[in-house]
Structure 1
């Protein structure tokens, strides 16, 4: 999340020190890592429900991001607790979705190799981050647009996920029982058949 790398710049207008911004970003990242590991396990248990999980995550991420933006704009009264909670929840919900997006991407693009799919998704993510950070080079652009860009990018994922059609062909192949007889069983069946003929 490129937004996290400029958190100290975004929070500069509400008198949050760089030290505080660093700790907020740290907790958001660590929370996202833990949530991603837990959610990956949940996704293994509840196969074929990745789209639903992603929808829930992004609705919650949109709410947390909106909370953060309203705090930043002073629509909601500022408090350090609210700032910490909203930012950490943003990190948790957005970062927890990353493994599921990669997995769903591999499912959707099957039989294209997983390495190709993951490479394209990673490249798209990095290019988006480069564009986001490069806009800051425009003179006198300020930082307010970052809040709205982050909120927009999170919110737009919800209708796009609703339009997305799930396809779990790869999972179906991985989980089905082997329908091709094993070689040693074929040999045994052949020997039995020959014995009965004799």
Structure 2
């Protein structure tokens, strides 16, 4: 930890020396036109990845071992599912305050609140490893879920504020990587640490060990955020950020810019279409993940650890898809086209996964088809973020991403509840057909999103002015 702090301090010292040399000979206006990429941007991105990962690892922690959780606490499958769906339920009312905080107070304050809430909830769960303390574990999970509101909408803001125009999509994809990696650990770790047993004391001890391990990690991440994160660099990394800073610092702009931005977003046809289609895709992912254990164990009883590993393969393939898509966007800037291809791939892979689940006799087939589904379904997440920013620029990234996530969480909660009900009353085949139909609707909506890339237009306009000699 000391070596990490020393590296950060050296980078900060180097940055300050360079800035002071430039600032001695520049006016305020000239300072705004100077672009600089700071080495510390990679450290801040790395800390954010850990921050997001350590929160997301709690999300599916109970549901992936739903049979053990239900036995230990003596609760129904619906109650176990609530430990996951609570993430979606609490996000919606916290959307506006979290987005406002990010817009007004910046990256560091928002991250500290999210990290602090996660730590508090994680330690509360340590004391909930008793059969009669399900309400306490639900309270701890609820605090961690509330903290997610101060996490999910940050990748696009962090990428735009700290990274250059040619790397912003890659940085956003890496930021989303943290949340996906946390989800992957949530699939993998609980089946490895908590095992089914008729002795509730043994299960309780294993739960306590798992909760304690997670709480220690969350505490370490909180201090990393406190020591290493800054809200924004002194000098902007791109001309799009220069323009946003000028707008933000303009005294003629009214204080209700946040409210105005929200209204503008809802007036944008392209954004509303994306909001619905993105919500459907992500909502389907949440629904599938929450009931993952119940679906697979129906066809492969006794394969609890395989369920965790299949979930891991689903998310890890999505990580590869996210990074690949971010690279493609940075190189091609084909935002709508990439979004449509990924969405169509999600639809096709869901058909393949659903068919294999109900017809295959081999668990390894499920590994492959779930990985294919994850490649497209979770690989889509950063692509949707970036398309939202492109079509809503210069509205603050935190606002557009926050509202996008709010719609996703609301749709995800509804879809998970309906998916669970259809599964319980009509079976897995009807439940998966419902998901396939919804993804088909989402793909169709994506076709009608206008290909308006406003942020790219801002970069292009500035470069053309430079070429014409209108700017230095």
Q: TM-score, normalised by structure 1?
A: 0.80
Q: Distance in 2 between matches of 1:160 and 1:115?
A: 24
The equivalent of 2:304 in structure 1 is 18
Q: After TM superposition, list the pairs within 5 Å mapping 1:85-124 onto structure 2.
A: 85-124=368-407
CA shift for structure 1 position 124: 1.0
Where 2:465 maps in the other structure, the secondary structure is coil
The yes-or-no answer on 1:133 pairing with 2:416 is yes
The yes-or-no answer on 1:78 pairing with 2:379 is no
The equivalent of 1:5 in structure 2 is 290
Contact 1:60 1:93 in 2 (8 A): yes
CA shift for structure 1 position 96: 0.9
Q: Distance in 2 between matches of 1:37 and 1:138?
A: 34
Residues 125 and 15 of structure 1: CA distance in aligned 2, closer, same or farther (over 3 Å): same
CA shift for structure 1 position 4: 1.6
Q: After TM superposition, list the pairs within 5 Å mapping 1:176-187 onto structure 2.
A: 176=461, 177=463, 179=465, 181-182=470-471
Q: Aligned pairs, how many?
A: 180
Q: Structure 2: which 5+ runs fail to align? A: 1-284
Pick the aligned partner of 1:31 from 274, 299, 317. 317
CA shift for structure 1 position 57: 1.5
CA shift for structure 1 position 138: 8.4
Q: Structure 1: which 5+ runs fail to align? A: 186-198
CA shift for structure 1 position 20: 1.0
Where 1:90 maps in the other structure, the secondary structure is helix
The yes-or-no answer on 1:41 pairing with 2:327 is yes
Where 1:179 maps in the other structure, the secondary structure is helix
The equivalent of 1:196 in structure 2 is none
Q: Distance in 1 between matches of 2:434 and 2:386?
A: 25
Residues 67 and 138 of structure 1: CA distance in aligned 2, closer, same or farther (over 3 Å): closer
Where 1:73 maps in the other structure, the secondary structure is helix
Superposition CA RMSD, Å: 2.3
Contact 1:57 1:97 in 2 (8 A): yes
1:83-123 CA distances to partner (integer Å, 9 max, x unpaired)? 11111111110111111111111222233322111001111
CA shift for structure 1 position 137: 6.3
1:132-155 CA distances to partner (integer Å, 9 max, x unpaired)? 233336894355243223222322
Rg larger in structure: 1
Pick the aligned partner of 1:160 from 434, 445, 451. 445
CA shift for structure 1 position 167: 0.2
Pick the aligned partner of 2:456 from 167, 171, 178. 171
Contact 1:28 1:88 in 2 (8 A): yes
Contact 2:339 2:380 in 1 (8 A): yes
Contact 1:10 1:143 in 2 (8 A): no
**Worse-matched range after superposition: 144-153 or 158-167:** 144-153
Q: TM-score, normalised by structure 2?
A: 0.36
Where 1:156 maps in the other structure, the secondary structure is helix
Q: Distance in 2 between matches of 1:61 and 1:139?
A: 21
